[in-house]
Structure 1
Amino acid sequence: MTDKRDTLPTKDNRKAITARIHIAKKELGLDDETYRAMLQQVTKHSSCADMHISELYRVMEHLKKLGYKPATRKFGKRPNPAKDKAALMGKVEALLADSKLHWNYAHAMAQRMFSVAKVDWLDKDQLWRLVGALEKAAKRS
């Protein structure tokens, strides 16, 4: 298994890690002088622009040691349905994507409509009704 750090960076990866470093800097309340001194200490560079992707990851790890806790995304997990429900689950996923909604929205609808905590646990009839409700919601917006 290869580590993400072993792959060649794309511009987007580099941009994303640099953005996370700057977010961490702000959340930790580092002034510019302290921030640049920390970069110099960790990588011998005073700017992220001069760093290799591996050095950017080292800076990120150092910021975590200083107390930075990256925010976790809570978009809901995509269900892994049984074969007989896969087509319906695909329809639910397509409707969510069209409306730019996350799986948590579908899980909440399942809870409200059927008192079932997760979409995974719905039977076929309930899934059909969920699809109908999602289609109705899509027409409204």
Structure 2
Amino acid sequence: MNNRNRLIQLIHVGKRELGLDDETYRAMLQEVASKVSCSKMSIKELELVVAHMEAKGFKRQAKVGKTGFKRRLSPRSGKAKHAEIDKIRAIWITMYQHGIVQDRSEAALDAYVRRMTNKDIDHVGWMDSHQAYAVLESLKKWHTRALREWMVENGHEKLLQIRAAKSYASVLICYEEVTNKK
């Protein structure tokens, strides 16, 4: 569907969502674009009509289906076959909250697991304990490195030195102290 047809369709959805009768709808088109039919409008005029309808309360809804997808989020902890897998998911979500990864979804984590296991494993939940341990340790190293870099960039290197923060847990504690003070 081209952009013009998509805009026309969107306008008709907006008409229905706003509860406009035909007379009110045509008056609105005349007011905004000086035309009473979408078929006679340019793309720019159609965009103006959509913007006007959004200003009146129409909200576009994202497509879910062929072109869109719904991100799969991690399941609740305690459901994994190995404790390491729950820890991997928890660290992944924490890294998202710290701004280190951009996508907290299970699909993004699966992509990381694929890279770390040389495409042997397609899903985090399918790892055996040895694979899970290796992925967990690599994730902890990445998280530690990113937090240390952030702290150095923001002038908190002294705290890392004072606390002798080298382990994952100690660096995480230092980071939490610094960010909770702000």
TM-score scaled by length of structure 2:
0.44
For 2:101, the equivalent position in structure 1 comes to none
Number of residue-to-residue matches in the alignment: 97
**Aligned pair partner of 1:102 in 63, 69, 75:** 69
Q: Could you tell me how far apart the structure 1 residues matched to 2:69 and 2:49 are? A: 31
- Partner-residue secondary structure (3-state), 1:46: coil
What is the distance in 2 between the residues matched to 1:103 and 1:46? 38
Residue of structure 2 equivalent to 1:25: 15
Deviation at 1:130, TM superposition (A): 1.6
* Structure possessing the higher relative contact order (Cα contacts under 8 Å, 6 or more residues apart): 1
Q: Trace 1:1-141 onto structure 2 (pairs within 5 A).
A: 12-73=2-63, 102=69, 104=71, 107-108=72-73, 111=75, 114-115=85-86, 116=89, 118=105, 119-121=107-109, 122-123=112-113, 124-125=116-117, 128-130=121-123
After TM superposition, the runs of 4+ consecutive aligned structure 1 residues lying more than 4 A away are: 112-115
Unaligned residue ranges in structure 2 (runs of 5+)? 90-103, 127-182
Task: Report the CA distance between 1:127 and its aligned residue.
Answer: 7.3
Secondary structure of 1:111's counterpart equals coil
Letter of the 2:20 counterpart: L
**Greater radius of gyration (CA):** 2
Alpha-carbon distance, 1:101 to partner: 8.8
Distance (whole Å) between structure 2 residues aligned to residue 50 and residue 129 of structure 1:
51
Alpha-carbon separation, structure 1, partners of 2:16 and 2:42: 22
Q: Structure 1 residues 43 and 73, CA, compared in 2 at 3 Å: closer, same or farther?
A: same
Contact preservation (8 Å) 2:64, 2:70: no
Alpha-carbon RMSD: 3.4
Query: Is contact 2:32–2:49 with CA below 8 Å preserved after alignment?
Result: yes
Letter in 2 for 1:128: I
- Structure 1 distance, partners of 2:14, 2:68, is 28
Q: How far 1:71 sits from its partner (Å)?
A: 1.0
TM-score by length of structure 1 reads: 0.55
Structure 1, residues 25-65: CA drift from partner, whole Å, max 9, x if none? 00000000000000001111000000011000000010011
Q: Percent identity?
A: 34
CA contact (8 A) 2:14 2:58 kept: yes
